[in-house]
A = this chain, B = another copy of it.
Amino acid sequence: MTPRRPLNRPVHVSWRVRPQLRHGEGERQHLTSLQGLAALSLDALSSVAYGPEAIALILVAAGGAAIGYTLPITLAIVVLLTVLVISYRQVIAVYPNGGGSYAVAKSDLGERVSLLAAAALIVDYVLTVAVSLAAGAASLASAFPVLAPHLLAICLVGLALLTAVNLYGIAESARVLMLPTALFVVSVLGVVVLGLARSHPAAVVGAPMHVPVTDTLGVLLILKAFSSGCSALTGVEAIANGVPMFREPRVARAQRTELLLGALLGTMLVGLALLIHRDRVQPRHDVTVLAQLTAGAYGTGWVYYATNLVVTLALALAANTSFGGLPVLLSLLARDNRLPHLFALRTERPVHRYGVVAVAAAAAVILIAVDARTHRLIPMFAIGVFIGFTISQVGLVRHWATLRPPRWLGRALLNGTGALLTAGATLVLLTTKFLEGAWVVAIVIPLLILLFARIERYYTAVEKQLGVGRTPPRPTRPAAVAEAGKVIIIPVSDVTTRTERAVSAGLALGGEVVVVAVCFTEEEVHDLRTRWNLWDPGVRLEILDSPQHTVVRPVLDYIRQVADTGKWVAVLIPTVEPRHFRHRVLHNQRDLFLMVVLREHTDVLVCLLPFRINT
């Protein structure tokens, strides 16, 4: 039983959408532009919590003065953002069914690229969960310094909560996300406006960190800072993936939301960079850069605490979005024969249990490996996202070049430029950060692709052997079986009510019924034969000798011997079903062992007859 979509049926399901919208209930509550912003942009917007800090952390290695380069680097990133937003508005128009880079690659760039897209997406999702949790923990610890030594513990508790929520399958709604998103945007914009309005910071938090000057300010360092800052662009693709969630006119609304996201994200990034630039903000002990800017704008009163909590909440919700998204992607891959079909299984609540557990395990491993330090995750991060950006845009270029609609050349040029920029950024990310962690991604993505390919090859072979898609031959007629001879073999150990039930079932199946028992001594043989004759059930009893004192081997040999004569054989195994699970250990599982052995070594039909114990 492997019920799944056949290979040739295209799948166009978007997987960055909320659970309750995925399962057909969404028609009632499609999103407006603003709701869409709440539902789909938290991942992108919340990255201002770690993006600017990632830039500052790199630059500070060349001395405090180098912090001034934060602003031009941020401007370069905002240029990239602009290109991405324009490009993704086209993606929205061309792929109104959503689906992200995996779907785009599958439909326009072929199987191979789609494997790359899938691997990149998996890496991206898992890292988004880890980075968001780590940054959220850092934000929480900025407000409550007592938590600073326990970042990993906070992350793991958060991860456990997310896992529980996602296993339980609570449907997030856009409405619920509206408030945290609005609070987040207002808080961060407030930091920017109030901060810029003051001539100097309202308060300074955290102990100064002595960072040894280990680097000189050169092209490499700037490229490194740029690639770290690119982590702020992750999540920009989410709206394009979720177009089907919007209210009609879908495309226009989604495009408007994308624009809104770009404008908000750009403004926040530039604003925060201006503040960093002016106040020469440097990373300090146990306090994030965003928290420093918050203190600088609001002082250290209750607003400071509230803002940090809002940031933590936004990051946690961003982690949850990815947590919800990856299992859906895994299930799509499973339906496409590229991951075990297990991942496509859903429990009664629409939850992909195996996917959720897989994401949780992967994120936990990563968080433990980097001790929940955001800055150690940044070098791995964004590569996956930028591969996705590039694939989507290349797909679009191919699309324009194939269909050649009006103004296709201009559009292709635009997307081509975007693709070149993001491909370039991918290369910069990979090369400048290779030793710091990007190598992990460089190993994991090819391994994932290899895994997908091997799994697909296996499933294809299985489908061929099963004859999927072909009409099978006619079933064998019972008359043919009757002619060859039909034997029901029942292994038993003694003469009890259970034996009677098994013999009755065997007689019901028809054909010749043979009861077999294994005896170790002459005395046992005699005993059993006597009791059998006393009972006289009217079927044949075969007593097997077992020189090796095993039960399974002689039974298996006997069954094989009968099957080898060309007869049609069914083996009927009486089993015991205790009421309580703990009582299972009290029944030797020889019945199940025999079943496993028969399945492995013979082609006979194995029938299990349960005998229920009530105690």
Contact with A605, one of B458, B578, B607 (Cβ below 8 angstroms): B607
Which B residues are CB-close (under 8 A) to A537? Answer: 474-475
B507–A477 CB distance below 8 A: yes
A534–B576 CB distance below 8 A: no
Main secondary structure of the interface of A (DSSP, over half): mixed
B613–A341 CB distance below 8 A: no
B507–A478 CB distance below 8 A: yes
A61 to B353, CA, bound (A): 61
Q: Does A182 contact B (CB under 8 A)?
A: no
Q: In the complex where A496-B466, A576-B2, A615-B458 touch, is A587 in contact with B535 (Cβ < 8 A)?
A: no
A52 to B350, CA, bound (A): 70
Which B residues are CB-close (under 8 A) to A465? Answer: 497, 613-615
Contact with A600, one of B498, B577, B588 (Cβ below 8 angstroms): B577
- How many copies make up the complex? 2
Q: In the complex where A2-B576, A3-B518 touch, is A346 in contact with B550 (Cβ < 8 A)?
A: yes
Q: Which residue of B lies closest to A457 (CB)?
A: B615
B588–A345 CB distance below 8 A: yes
Interface residues on A, range: 35 or more
A508–B568 CB distance below 8 A: yes
Q: Does A538 contact B (CB under 8 A)?
A: yes
Q: In the complex where A1-B493, A615-B458 touch, is A508 in contact with B583 (Cβ < 8 A)?
A: no
A471–B508 CB distance below 8 A: no
A352 to chain B, nearest CB (A): 11
Q: Which of A76-84, A146-154, A421-429, A589-597 contacts B (4 or more CB under 8 A)?
A: A589-597
Q: Which residue of B lies closest to A520 (CB)?
A: B3
Q: Does A303 contact B (CB under 8 A)?
A: no
B458–A497 CB distance below 8 A: no
Which B residues are CB-close (under 8 A) to A345? Answer: 588, 590
Most central of A346, A455, A459, A508 by chain B CB within 10 Å: A508
Interchain residue pairs A-B with the least CB separation, the first 9: A3-B493, A472-B500, A476-B504, A467-B497, A461-B615, A481-B508, A466-B496, A607-B607, A475-B503
Q: Does A200 contact B (CB under 8 A)?
A: no
Contact with A535, one of B341, B471, B591 (Cβ below 8 angstroms): B471
